[in-house]
Amino acid sequence: MILLFFGPPGAGKGTQAKIVSDKFNIKHLSTGDILREKLVDKSELSNKLINIIDNGQLVSDSIINDLVSERINKEDCKNGFVLDGYPRTMEQGIFLENYFKKNSLKLDYIIDFTIDNKSIVKRIKARSLIERRKDDNESVIETRIKKYEEETKPLSAYYMKNYKKKYYNINANQEIEKINEELIKKLENY
């Protein structure tokens, strides 16, 4: 099963992706997590990318596209995977479409997590007490929401239009357990 979890930061995509990846035995691919794990070598490029992330900006499409295609190709993705935080721009979306076509892969579901901005800030603030991410402070959250609205959200209309029955919108303002219940029910019918 190949899934794409779409939505703004703080919508709970990562939490749900972890649960779903365990339940269906598919790999959880969070580009944010992959980047944070990779950028520990203190090289000039890593420091540059850390600065971009800490300020809520987006890492360049070419770097992210390379990272994702290399990752999807690995053995642990053969049973399927859930993309979390990718694609985030139209260009990444087009790259992914082409990559899937070339490699005869098909998206089974696109889950679009919809949440209001107030709840985003509340969720991320709660998370910041546990995870201590530098980009979880209030001014950076605002930048990340703005980036989402400008660069990422337009993709949602694309998926809705082109994927129809495979596109599913979920109300992410609900409690985590409720979202999970609805999501699992949907995916079990797959």
Angle between helical axes of 154-163 and 90-102 (0-180°, round to 10)? 30
The reply on whether position 115 binds ligand AMP by CB under 6 A is no
The reply on whether position 65 binds ligand AMP by CB under 6 A is no
Are the beta carbons of 67 and 35 closer than 8 angstroms?
A: yes
The reply on whether position 58 binds ligand AMP by CB under 6 A is yes
Interface with ligand AMP (CB under 6 A), residue total 17
Least separation, in Å, of the C-beta of 185 and ligand AMP?
Answer: 25
Measured CA to CA, the distance from residue 26 to residue 3 in angstroms comes to 9
Least separation, in Å, of the C-beta of 190 and ligand AMP?
Answer: 24
Q: For residue 135, what is the DSSP state?
A: G
Longest alpha-carbon distance in the chain: 47
Among 7, 8, 12, 32, binds ligand AMP (CB under 6 A): 32
What is the per-residue binding string for ligand AMP in 77-106, x denoting contact by CB under 6 A? Answer: --------xx-x---x--------------
What is the per-residue binding string for ligand AMP in 119-138, x denoting contact by CB under 6 A? Answer: ----------------x---
For ligand AMP, which is the closer residue by CB, 12 or 32? 32
DSSP letters of 141-174?
HHHHHHHIIIIITHHHHHHHHHHGGGEEEEETTS
Least separation, in Å, of the C-beta of 40 and ligand AMP?
Answer: 14
The reply on whether position 53 binds ligand AMP by CB under 6 A is yes
For the chain, strand residue ranges (E) read 2-6, 27-30, 81-84, 109-114, 167-171
Among 31, 112, 123, 183, binds ligand AMP (CB under 6 A): 31
DSSP letters of 171-190?
ETTS-HHHHHHHHHHHHHT-
For ligand AMP, which is the closer residue by CB, 123 or 167? 123
Instruction: Classify 84 as helix, strand or coil.
Output: strand
Q: List residues near ligand AMP by CB under 6 A.
A: 9, 31-32, 35, 52-53, 56-59, 64, 85-86, 88, 92, 135, 144
